[in-house]
Amino acid sequence: MIESKIASYNKSFPATFVSAKESHLVDVDGNRFLDFFTGAGTVNYGHNNSLIKRALITYLEEDGIMHSMDMDTWAKLDLLTALDEIILKPRQLDYKVQLCAPSGANAVEAGLKLARKVKQRNHIIAFTRSFHGMTQGALEVTANKYYKSTFTASSGQVSFFPYENYLDGCDALQLLRQMLCDEVSGIELPAAIILETVQADGGVHVASTRFLQGLRLLCDELDILMIVDDIQVGNGRTGDFFSFERAGIVPDIVTLSKAVGGGMPLALLLFREALDQWKTGEHSGTFRGNNLSFVAASAALRGYWQEELFSNQIKEKGQLIASALSAIEETVRGCGMIFGVELTPERALAVREYCFRHQLILELVGARDHVVKLLPPLTISHEDLDHGLRIFVDALEQSR
């Protein structure tokens, strides 16, 4: 086998998969696995979603342009139109849209660069347990030391503060306010504060409305840009299209990737119109013109987000998950259709292995891989959702 040992998920899920449809993956032996992992939130609309697949096949059969850098194409303009008319205007968001190289990390890089350019300040504030990507700038605002090798240079321009409920008895918002307003704290005024409203890889920690609204107010008072990383928990994962909608706030900058491409690689940076201070080509990437991703993204937006029905269905399924987990004794955190159950690392591993043996795939997250994360497709049927939850609850029982 010539693949590097750096690969991870083939170790967690030792099978060779050959096909996938909706909520299931099928391996070479014909075993059918229920997917509660969904590519870390990339496959929100299910595997080989019929609506998205049909749009892609039609586009290819008509010899549609596949790659175009950032030249104008029908596929690009159609995506921008769908995003504006279906998502932005109904929410009264005046965001400009930047097409980034197709990874969430690149959108984070672009967001940090833009914030520093606009504010003419280098300092950035991030939070404990955060994960924002694997490239240089994204790693600097990622808290987990595991990903920061000794070869990763640091600019020294990032400070980490406690996320809500990180420290018992500590009001994280009040601490941040005091440190930023106190002239002898040693903390420089940042260009931006970056956060996930739900820290997915950090262990499924959900920020309260109070925390998010207070952070928005603090940023406004001190002339700090608020960046929300909505790469994993945006795109409907928490029930609304954007994860911050539940708090009634509007970030200055938003990063989107994963599910926004309908299963295809795509990353977007959204930012207030007043922040559009880029010079032409100042941040670029060869595959920012991936037209197949534009087609898939447009199909997902038009197929699922033109009415409230899909959002309501996500919230209903989220309530079913919460209800199924309400009787267990372990610590449960989550909202919408992302939930985490906190265990010991040993028990979490046993639960994942039990689930895999019973053909359910789910991921471990948290600093010690001690939180089992449930991330089913948003389009999953009630029957499949119930089946997966029963396997998971059985795994908890067997691991005691």
Domain boundaries, the chain: 9-49+308-398, 64-304
- In sequence order, the 6+-apart residues with CB closer than 8 A to the CB of 175 are 161, 162
Whole-structure pTM over 0.85, yes or no?
A: yes
- In sequence order, the 6+-apart residues with CB closer than 8 A to the CB of 393 are 324, 325, 328
CATH of 64-304, one of 3.20.10.10, 1.20.1740.10, 3.30.365.10, 3.40.640.10: 3.40.640.10
Lookup: tokens for 204: 């499924």
What single-letter DSSP state applies at residue 282?
Answer: S
Rounded mean pLDDT of 133-161? 84
The tens digit of pLDDT for each residue in 301-317 reads: 999 999 999 999 999 99
**What confidence score (pLDDT) does residue 147 get?**
86
The tens digit of pLDDT for each residue in 194-238 reads: 999 999 999 999 999 999 999 999 999 999 999 999 999 999 999
What share of the chain in percent tops pLDDT 70? 98
The tens digit of pLDDT for each residue in 150-200 reads: 666 667 799 999 999 999 999 999 999 999 999 999 999 999 999 999 999
- In CATH, which superfamily holds the domain spanning 9-49+308-398? Aspartate Aminotransferase, domain 1 (3.90.1150.10)
Separation CA 56–CA 32 (nearest Å) = 25
